[in-house]
Copies of this chain bind each other. A is one copy, B any other.
């Protein structure tokens, strides 16, 4: 039983925090006030020092674990890692996940109503950076009267927030867990993001971002963006395992999608979907385009592209981490080609050169970038062991 307290955080209810003070963004623009929607799991202890902040990636949100109702069948996006007895153990830690500013999960973002004109912000919502998110999360920390996170943890874009926490607020976290991330996107990654943005902004239903006012949505553009993303989050080997076995028994064989417009040889000889992988991508793209806001997608990809903490430190990343004092755990996955192990190893070297305390683990996994969401035993064990040590330190300090 998925909702059972033994294996799950169970039914969770999001909580909204309102922030009245203006937030000055990196761009110079100002958000006069804003909401952050959160979920939390486990109990904050008396000393308020067992809190873990979970930062989400491009399409994630605050719903990281558990279910929203008894009939809810799909748990939060990181339910495999967060829960009682799980790697991020809610019996030990208070875990809080935030939907980032600019998101579409309930925090103030492009779909929120702009008080100035009573219409959705849409494209008027300013470009947000990782630094802005961290600042907004620090205010949340203040409201919760938490002086130091036991850990800040995130994968991909979430890992960038982790890095920024360690750089900008070195005393405010005991540990930084940065998974399948990079200190900066590669040109290839930026290029994929740009194609995704292009597909959204050139959709005739985009209306320069004011699609909600036109009772419209750039579904095709968002679907395409997601299809591109999906290919790049999976590894070639993951696709092979999922959609076909190659050279099995000395044979070249890719599963064909039977049952659709089939003529000779099982192929349509038309522009229809012929292969499993095509219908899978259509399905994924379609589902996503029904549930996600296009302007948020644009903001999230720009935040990825812009992340480069070295720019505040004469383009010297080791200077950026010079004051970092938390313990670091970095994890990468062998077949992740959007955030490959090289990027993590480069970051490990930088951290070592800045005399940081770093553990690094490269996990063998077929799932590409998506592996960071999977309950791969070695990966879960590494998280668990690292966090156990942090917990022991908390208790030692307490006694």
Q: Which residues of A contact B (CB under 8 A)?
A: 26-29, 123, 126-127, 183-188, 190-192, 194-195, 197-199, 201-202, 204, 220, 223-224, 227-228, 231, 234, 236, 239-240, 242-244, 246-247, 250-254, 263-265, 267, 269-271, 273-278, 281-282, 298, 302, 305-306, 308, 310-311, 315-318, 337, 346, 350, 353
Contacts and interface: CB of A to CB of B under 8 A. Distances in A.
Nearest to A248: B315
Contact of A302 (B204, B263, B271, B277): B271
A244 to B, nearest CB: 5
Given A195-B281, A317-B250, A187 B244 contact: yes
A198 B184 contact: no
A239 to B, nearest CB: 4
Given A27-B263, A186-B236, A228-B228, A127 B191 contact: no
Given A269-B29, A317-B252, A346-B247, A240 B281 contact: no
A251 B191 contact: no
A353 B250 contact: yes
A240 B185 CA distance: 11
How many chain copies? 2
A349 to B, nearest CB: 9
B195 A224 contact: yes
A201 B273 CA distance: 13
Contact of A251 (B236, B282, B316): B316
A355 to B, nearest CB: 14
Contacts of A269: 26-29, 126-127
B315 A264 contact: no
Nearest to A189: B236
A278 B190 contact: yes
